[in-house]
């Protein structure tokens, strides 16, 4: 690659931004008794280093699970252990059992930040660079621009380097990205190994598991289930089982061990959603108090069914017609389904949707940029709590500028480029004058950006927190003029942020494509049959 | 009605955004990008210069003019020319809305978070002038090489080299100083000379001198150039001077401009009869020959030899007697020992002469600060995109010069930032200039390559190995000494090469003018 130096510059820029953000405060800084995610991270190092492996996930006098007990899969624990050994080498006080609780110092902060940077540098950044280099059909310049945008994505930077997320997102997302890369480049075994590691690092990666499964299954079907396909299937199954066994080996000695770990990983006894998530449950509960109406177990079932229902079409389609491009779009749509409909979603889970969206950035720049901006905005309350207003505003603006200049997103809003052609063609059959969709979308974008700016400004400038929810909601109500304002006035929140997400989802939902297909659009869309364009159906 | 209004607003925002994404957007994107990076640097370490400027804010805000240059509560007395004092005065009237407390002269070392925010943002905002100046400078670069690729255009490369200059970033936005807008003034005046708007250029430079007197170093270049190509209105066909074309009107108008600016600046103090006091503050010859951090110049090499000889036990009397009293007169006479090579006709020749002035004073000047190297590096960027030879000099000069700024930031959290930013700038500048001049001979010979690569191990030794060795307590000055001596070699080499190029290269301007 002749432009390697530009790629190096992009990576260095990404690293610089990451490190400068990390100079800011972190979650729970100087807030006893529980502190925050930063302390959780340090506490796990303390636990894994000082206790035998059998006690890691169990409540004991040395391991109070109420105080940031380990609730991530084994790989996370191993990583903590590794960091703990380094910490022990530098300063044993950092991880001393009991006495190190709530330990904070400049040197320790530096150490923790450095561990994130190193993990990022080793796993996530190479995966992003490689992904951009492997992109086909675009110029070198676009590849570099793409890498710049992905590396500058503020959500991930702010959560990992500012807020200090419990167990580094960059590692789990990076491993997942390696998985995507491997599977797309036909190194299926390596890809599935990387993805298994990702799942074993953070159980939330299960959001991405269905597309992986369907894509690989589809590949096996394609090769013929009786010949090569079956061999591939067995190999893949072997890889998955082997990697899981390897990760869980210390916990397989006793049945109770494995069960306890599982119980820690999937705490179903928590609520349907936590306070401010831009997903469907939180939004609906503005009108309808689902939490109160439905009993707990029904909630679980309903959310499970809805999730399954929403991701089924895309997965079926992927199994029948596996292609790397379709795979990426299915990843987006599945992760989004999970985020919108599944049980007990955390606002930070939006990062799991953002990663696949980053992967389709070069294909649908306008929509992806919009989504990524909104996703960052949806974490604003969390970031404000950590005193990260300045870096979040700055990095978001930087990201927006990077996307706007490198993809000139505003020129790419035709139906063709929004991948909405088949949808609008089918609508036009019934409504011949349906030609204003791109314009509407442009306007919606502008309005949503302006609203985000205004809301940010108001959140910062208007001090009385009691006043804020009302303002939020009044704004929503002016947009959704048909809604009943008094009802909206009750509840706080970035429900607003879910509007664009819904929009994206509605536009991007495979169901639309499914319907469109049923309406025999196939015969009218001349591009339909072109290989490599199948992904059109997904958006 | 409301929908229509929203639509109007949306359309206008859309238009603004599409201007941004349109043709000339890359410059805006670069400028905004670096501005955002500067905002991210707000929480970084800041040096005592932060307190210096806070103190000046307090002095100018709370005291009458007659006290400005006498006030000495803080050890950081006002020692910049009057325009800068007025600048601080203007800033202080914004500052009072941020935090009134920072404007108290007796509030030493005061740095609340609002003070920090205000001071940092004042640097970032005044940098707008620098951005504008860079924009003007880019217009002066002739894009004769018509490349399709944006990233290979000289204009693009130049604007990155200037806007994203590593030295300026760390000195202004981490270490804390107001060099950005001052260099903006200088670049703007250079651009005006390129655009043949001589009076404007002279005016801007005169103003600049009264902002910060360090720019006196390059004043000779201005003087000679303006005399040669503005006061003499015509040339002989072979490019040499036509003596009878001298225009007194032009000379007088130039003189008048400079005089008026000086009168505006120094007049009030002349009226108060404080001029000697002002000058004693501006030129504190009582300070030593070398600054606390050694600037990588001739004196650094001299000092290093002195130190090495004394450490290994040789009597230093011999060396000490070579420059017995460390007198400023010697430093200064060495500072400008060179007849300034007559500025070749044409602004490029002038630029070359200006850089030579800056570098010579850096090499031999009295009490030179290592930050002064920026005075040579920034104008040199303008030359670097024009010719392969200049590009090579620029790269050696900027890389070593920037590396020599490393000791300014010695705190651990800033270590990754300085290394990453330095790598970013160095890799970009070397590779992009190599791409620009790929059809000509390679930019570096093996010796230069070896020298530049040596900076890597030097950094590893100074910051990662040395602190863990037992020498740290016994010889704590070794990293500083190594850095400045190593960089001094590179800067001397660049200076020498530039000097040679001035005399050997065919004057560019001559052919262009005809």
B120 within 8 A of B171, measured Cβ to Cβ = no
Check CB contact under 8 Å for B420 and A16. yes
Please determine, for residue A284, whether its predicted confidence score (pLDDT) is greater than 50: yes
CA A36 vs. chain centroid, Å, equals 21
pLDDT of res. B448: 92
For residue A345, give the 3-state DSSP assignment: strand
pLDDT of res. A475: 39
Q: How many CB atoms lie within 10 A of CB A141?
A: 14
Nearest chain B residue to A2 by CA: give it. B435
The larger pLDDT score, comparing residue A390 to residue A166, is at A390
Band the pLDDT of A291: cuts 50, 70, 90. low
Instruction: Please tell me if residue B40 touches chain A, with a CB cutoff of 8 Å.
Output: yes
pLDDT of res. A274: 53
Crossing angle of the two packed helices B298-311 and B478-504, in degrees rounded to 10: 140
Nearest chain A residue to B416 by CA: give it. A19
What is the rounded CA–CA span in Å between residue A326 and residue A321?
Answer: 8
CA distance A402 to chain B (A): 8
What is the rounded CA–CA span in Å between residue A376 and residue A398?
Answer: 13
What is the rounded CA–CA span in Å between residue A235 and residue A67?
Answer: 42
Instruction: Please tell me if residue B461 touches chain A, with a CB cutoff of 8 Å.
Output: no
Helix (H) or strand (E) holding B345: none
Nearest chain B residue to A15 by CA: give it. B420
**Looking at chain B from residue 139 to 168, which residues have their Cβ under 8 Å from any Cβ of chain A?**
149-151
Place of tokens 């530009």: A6
> Nearest Cα to A243, choosing from A200, A186, A289?
A200
Average pLDDT of span A515-532: 31
Instruction: Please tell me if residue B311 touches chain A, with a CB cutoff of 8 Å.
Output: no
Average pLDDT of span A480-489: 26
Q: Give residue-wise pLDDT tens across range A344-354.
A: 777 778 888 88
> In a mutagenesis test of the B interface, which of A2, A20, A24 is the best target, namely the one with the most B β-carbons within 10 Å?
A20
A15 vs B contacts (CB less than 8 Å): 416, 420
CA B428 vs. chain centroid, Å, equals 20
Q: What is the DSSP string of A89-118?
A: HH-GGGG-TTTTTT---HHHHHHHHHHHHH
Instruction: Please tell me if residue A256 touches chain B, with a CB cutoff of 8 Å.
Output: no
B324 within 8 A of B315, measured Cβ to Cβ = no
Band the pLDDT of A195: cuts 50, 70, 90. very high
Check CB contact under 8 Å for A23 and B43. yes
Q: Give residue-wise pLDDT tens across range B317-357.
A: 444 434 433 444 444 444 444 444 444 567 888 898 899 98
Average pLDDT of span A418-433: 69
Please determine, for residue A497, whether its predicted confidence score (pLDDT) is greater than 70: no
Q: What is the DSSP string of B43-99?
A: TS---THHHHHHHHHHHHHHS-HHHHTT--SSSS---S-HHHHHHHHHHHHHHTTT-
Which residues are bridge partners to B423 per DSSP? Answer: none
Tokens of B186: 């200088």
What is the rounded CA–CA span in Å between residue B512 and residue A6?
Answer: 34
pLDDT of res. A538: 33
A20 vs B contacts (CB less than 8 Å): 37, 40-41, 43-44, 417
What is the rounded CA–CA span in Å between residue A339 and residue A344?
Answer: 9
> In a mutagenesis test of the B interface, which of A12, A386, A395, A460 is the best target, namely the one with the most B β-carbons within 10 Å?
A12
CA distance B378 to chain A (A): 20
CA distance A391 to chain B (A): 6
**Looking at chain A from residue 374 to 433, which residues have their Cβ under 8 Å from any Cβ of chain B?**
390-391, 394-395, 397-398, 401-402, 404-405, 408-411
For residue A344, give the 3-state DSSP assignment: coil
**B49 phi, psi to nearest 5 deg:** -60, -25
Nearest chain A residue to B14 by CA: give it. A446
What is the rounded CA–CA span in Å between residue A321 and residue B341?
Answer: 74
Average pLDDT of span A147-155: 93
The larger pLDDT score, comparing residue A214 to residue A471, is at A214
Check CB contact under 8 Å for A443 and B7. yes
Check CB contact under 8 Å for B13 and A409. no
What burial class does residue B265 get, using C-beta atoms within 10 Å of its C-beta: 0-12 exposed, 13-18 middle, 19+ buried? buried
Check CB contact under 8 Å for B42 and A390. yes
Share of chain A above pLDDT 90, in %: 22
Check CB contact under 8 Å for A391 and B40. yes
What is the rounded CA–CA span in Å between residue B424 and residue B169?
Answer: 12
ipTM for the complex?
0.87
Nearest chain A residue to B418 by CA: give it. A16
B275 within 8 A of B92, measured Cβ to Cβ = no
Instruction: Please tell me if residue A241 touches chain B, with a CB cutoff of 8 Å.
Output: no
Helix (H) or strand (E) holding B385: none
Which residues are bridge partners to B235 per DSSP? Answer: B241
Crossing angle of the two packed helices A4-22 and A389-407, in degrees rounded to 10: 160
**Looking at chain A from residue 346 to 375, which residues have their Cβ under 8 Å from any Cβ of chain B?**
none
Place of tokens 């262009």: B512
Please determine, for residue A426, whether its predicted confidence score (pLDDT) is greater than 60: yes
> Nearest Cα to B419, choosing from A114, A392, A397, A155?
A114
pLDDT of res. B493: 92
What residues of chain B score a pLDDT lower than 70?
1-24, 143-148, 238-239, 286-294, 313-345, 505-514
Q: What is the DSSP string of B186-224?
A: HHHHHHHHHTT-HHHHHHHHHHHHTT-GGGGGGHHHHHH
The larger pLDDT score, comparing residue A443 to residue A504, is at A443
pLDDT of res. B311: 72
A24 vs B contacts (CB less than 8 Å): 43
What is the rounded CA–CA span in Å between residue B358 and residue B374?
Answer: 9
pLDDT of res. A82: 93
For residue A452, give the 3-state DSSP assignment: helix
Helix (H) or strand (E) holding A361: none
Q: What is the DSSP string of B263-280?
A: HHHHHHHHHTT-HHHHHH
Q: Report cis status (omega within 30 of 0) of the bond before A33.
A: yes
Of B26, B417, B431, the CB nearest to A16: B417
CA distance A44 to chain B (A): 24
Q: Give residue-wise pLDDT tens across range A244-268.
A: 988 888 887 777 777 888 887 776 6
**A108 phi, psi to nearest 5 deg:** -65, -40
B294: DSSP letter? P
> Nearest Cα to A303, choosing from A277, A329, A328, A327?
A277
A12 vs B contacts (CB less than 8 Å): 420-421, 423-424, 427
């Amino acid at each position: 690659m002749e432009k390697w130096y530009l790629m190096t510059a992009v990576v260095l820029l990404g690293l610089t931004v990451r490190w400068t953000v990390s100079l800011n405060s972190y979650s729970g800084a100087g807030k006893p008794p529980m502190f925050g995610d930063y302390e959780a991270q340090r506490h796990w190092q303390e636990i894994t280093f000082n206790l035998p492996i059998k006690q890691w996930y169990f409540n004991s006098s040395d391991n109070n699970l109420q105080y940031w007990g380990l609730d991530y899969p084994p790989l996370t624990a191993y990583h903590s252990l590794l960091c703990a050994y380094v910490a022990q080498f530098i300063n044993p006080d950092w991880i001393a059992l009991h006495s190190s609780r709530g330990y904070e110092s400049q040197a320790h902060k530096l150490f923790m930040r450095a561990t994130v940077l190193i993990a990022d540098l080793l796993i996530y950044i190479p995966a992003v660079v490689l992904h951009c280099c492997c992109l086909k059909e675009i110029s070198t310049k676009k590849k570099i621009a793409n890498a710049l945008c992905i590396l500058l994505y503020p959500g991930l930077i702010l959560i990992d380097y500012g807020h200090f997320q419990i167990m580094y997102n960059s590692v789990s997302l990076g491993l997942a990205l390696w998985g995507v890369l491997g599977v797309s480049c036909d190194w299926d075994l390596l890809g599935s190994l990387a993805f298994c590691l990702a799942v074993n690092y953070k159980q939330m990666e299960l959001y991405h598991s269905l597309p992986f499964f369907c894509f690989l299954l589809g590949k096996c079907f394609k090769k013929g289930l009786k010949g090569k396909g079956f061999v591939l299937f067995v190999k893949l199954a072997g890889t998955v089982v082997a990697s899981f066994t390897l990760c869980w080996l210390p916990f397989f000695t006793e049945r109770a061990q494995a069960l306890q770990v599982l119980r820690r990983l999937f705490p179903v006894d928590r609520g349907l959603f936590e306070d401010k998530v831009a997903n469907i449950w939180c939004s609906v509960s503005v009108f309808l108090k689902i939490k109160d109406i439905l009993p707990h177990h029904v909630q679980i079932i309903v959310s499970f069914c809805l999730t399954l229902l929403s991701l089924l079409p895309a997965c079926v389609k992927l199994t029948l017609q596996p292609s790397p491009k379709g795979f990426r779009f299915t990843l987006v749509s599945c992760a989004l389904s999970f985020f919108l409909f599944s049980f007990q979603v955390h606002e930070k889970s939006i990062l799991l949707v953002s990663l696949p969206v980053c992967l389709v950035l070069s294909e649908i720049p306008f929509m992806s940029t919009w989504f990524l901006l909104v996703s960052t905005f949806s974490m604003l309350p969390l970031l404000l709590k950590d005193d990260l207003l300045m870096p979040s505003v700055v990095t978001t603006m930087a990201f927006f500028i990077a996307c706007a200049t490198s993809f000139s997103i505003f020129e790419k809003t035709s139906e063709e480029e929004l991948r909405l052609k088949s949808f609008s063609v089918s609508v036009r059959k019934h409504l011949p004058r349906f030609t204003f969709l791109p314009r509407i979308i442009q306007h919606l974008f502008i309005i949503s950006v302006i609203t985000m700016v205004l809301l940010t400004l108001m959140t910062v400038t208007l001090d009385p927190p009691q006043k804020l929810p009302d303002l939020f909601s009044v704004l929503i109500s002016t947009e959704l003029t048909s809604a009943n304002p008094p009802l909206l006035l009750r509840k706080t929140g970035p429900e607003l942020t879910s509007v664009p997400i819904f929009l994206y989802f509605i536009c991007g939902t495979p169901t639309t494509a499914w319907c469109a297909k049923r309406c025999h659009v196939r015969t009218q869309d001349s591009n339909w049959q072109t290989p490599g364009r199948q992904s059109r159906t997904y958006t | 009605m409301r929908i229509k209004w929203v639509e109007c607003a949306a359309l206008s925002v859309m238009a603004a955004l599409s201007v941004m994404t349109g043709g000339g957007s890359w410059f805006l994107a670069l400028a905004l990008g670096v501005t955002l990076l500067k905002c991210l640097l707000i929480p970084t370490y800041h040096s005592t210069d932060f307190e210096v400027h806070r103190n000046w804010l307090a002095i100018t805000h709370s005291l009458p003019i007659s006290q400005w240059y006498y006030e000495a509560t803080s050890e950081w007395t006002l020692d910049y020319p009057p325009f800068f004092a007025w600048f601080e005065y203007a800033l202080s009237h914004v500052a009072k809305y941020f935090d009134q407390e920072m404007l108290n002269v007796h509030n030493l070392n005061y740095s609340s978070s609002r003070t920090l925010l205000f001071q940092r943002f004042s640097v970032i905002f005044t940098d707008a002038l620098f951005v504008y100046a860079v924009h003007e400078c880019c217009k002066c670069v002739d894009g004769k090489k018509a490349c399709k690729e944006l990233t290979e255009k000289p204009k693009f490369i130049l604007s990155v080299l200037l806007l994203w200059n590593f030295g300026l970033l760390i000195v202004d936005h981490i270490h804390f100083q107001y060099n950005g807008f001052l260099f903006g003034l200088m670049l703007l005046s250079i651009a005006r000379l390129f655009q043949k708007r001589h009076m404007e250029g002279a005016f801007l430079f005169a103003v600049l001198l009264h902002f910060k007197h360090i720019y006196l170093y390059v004043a000779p270049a201005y003087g000679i150039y303006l005399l040669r190509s503005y006061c003499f209105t015509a040339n002989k066909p072979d490019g040499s001077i036509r003596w009878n074309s001298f225009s007194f009107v032009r000379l007088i108008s130039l003189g008048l401009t400079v005089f008026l600016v000086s009168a505006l600046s120094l007049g009030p103090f002349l009226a108060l009869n404080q001029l000697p006091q002002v000058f004693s503050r501006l030129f504190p010859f009582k300070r030593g020959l070398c600054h606390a951090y050694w600037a990588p110049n001739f004196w650094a090499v001299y000092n290093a030899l002195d130190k090495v000889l004394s450490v290994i036990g040789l009597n230093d009397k011999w060396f000490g007697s070579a420059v017995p009293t460390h007198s400023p007169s010697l430093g200064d006479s060495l500072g400008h020992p060179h007849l300034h090579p007559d500025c070749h006709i044409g602004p490029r020749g002038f630029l070359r002469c200006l850089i030579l002035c800056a570098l010579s004073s850096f090499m031999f000047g009295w009490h030179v600060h290592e930050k002064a190297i920026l005075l040579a590096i920034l104008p040199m960027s303008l030359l670097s995109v024009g010719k392969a030879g200049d590009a090579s000099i620029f790269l050696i000069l900027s890389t070593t010069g920037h590396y020599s700024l490393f000791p300014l930031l010695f705190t651990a959290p800033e270590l990754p930032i300085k290394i990453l930013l330095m790598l970013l700038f160095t890799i970009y500048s070397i590779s992009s200039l190599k791409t620009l001049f790929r059809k000509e001979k390679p930019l570096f010979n093996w010796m230069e390559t070896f020298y530049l690569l040596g900076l890597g191990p030097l950094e590893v030794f100074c910051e990662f190995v040395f602190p863990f060795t037992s020498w740290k307590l016994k010889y704590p000055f070794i990293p500083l000494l190594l850095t400045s001596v190593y960089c001094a070699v590179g800067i001397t080499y660049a200076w020498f090469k530039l000097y040679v190029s001035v005399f050997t290269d065919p004057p560019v301007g001559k052919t262009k003018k005809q």
